[in-house]
C-alpha cells in the first residue's frame, strides 16, 4: 500500500535525508522555554494547547493541508510508494511533534483507504538544550 509519512525532527540533528518536503515550524514560540512544558512533548495536551494558542499555528496547519491535498495524490498516483513530509523545529521534541501528529490525525481520518499514514518522531526523546 502507498504511504504518506509525517515525521518530526530537530534541525540541530539534521534534516531527514529521505524527506520529500521539509516544513520548518520554528516560527512558533518554543514550548521548551516554558518551564512546565519543557519535560513534555508535542504529544502531550498542554504542549499542543500552548502551540495552538498562537494564531499562526492554525494558519500554518490549514495551509499545509491545502498544499498536501494538492501534491499527495500526484505523488502517490505516480510510481512512488511513499511521500515523506518532515516537520522540523529546534530540538524535535515539541512543535514538530505536535504538527506531525495533527497532520497524521487529519490524514488518517480523511484518506478513505487510498493510502496508509505513518508517524515518525526521530528526536522526541533527546533531551539536550536547544
> Where does the pLDDT of residue 88 fall: very low under 50, low under 70, confident under 90, or very high at 90 and above?
very high
pLDDT of res. 111:
56
Q: What is the pLDDT of residues 97-116, one digit of tens each?
A: 999 999 999 998 765 567 88
Residue 112 pLDDT: 57
Q: Is the pTM of this model over 0.95?
A: no
HEC string of the chain equals CCEEEEEEEEHHHCCCCCCCEEEECCCCCCHHHCCCCCCCCCCCHHHHHHHHCCHHHHHHHHHHHHHHHHHHHHHHHCCCCEEEEEEEECCCCCHHHHHHHHHHHHHHHHCCCCCEEEEEECCCCCCCCC
pLDDT in tens, 10-34: 999 999 999 999 999 999 999 999 9
Amino acid at each position: 500500500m502507498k504511504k504518506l509519512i509525517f515525521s518530526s525532527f530537530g534541525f540541530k540533528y539534521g534534516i531527514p535525508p529521505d524527506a520529500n518536503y521539509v516544513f520548518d515550524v520554528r516560527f512558533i514560540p518554543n514550548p521548551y522555554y516554558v518551564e512546565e512544558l519543557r519535560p513534555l512533548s508535542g504529544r502531550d495536551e498542554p504542549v499542543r494547547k500552548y502551540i495552538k494558542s498562537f494564531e499562526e499555528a492554525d494558519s500554518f496547519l490549514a495551509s499545509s493541508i491545502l498544499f498536501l491535498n494538492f501534491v499527495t495524490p500526484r505523488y502517490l498516483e505516480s510510481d512512488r510508494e511513499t511521500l515523506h513530509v518532515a516537520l522540523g523545529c529546534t530540538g524535535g521534541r515539541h512543535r514538530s511533534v505536535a504538527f506531525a501528529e495533527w497532520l497524521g490525525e487529519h490524514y488518517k481520518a480523511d484518506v478513505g483507504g487510498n493510502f496508509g499514514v505513518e508517524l515518525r518522531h526521530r528526536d522526541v526523546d533527546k533531551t539536550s538544550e536547544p
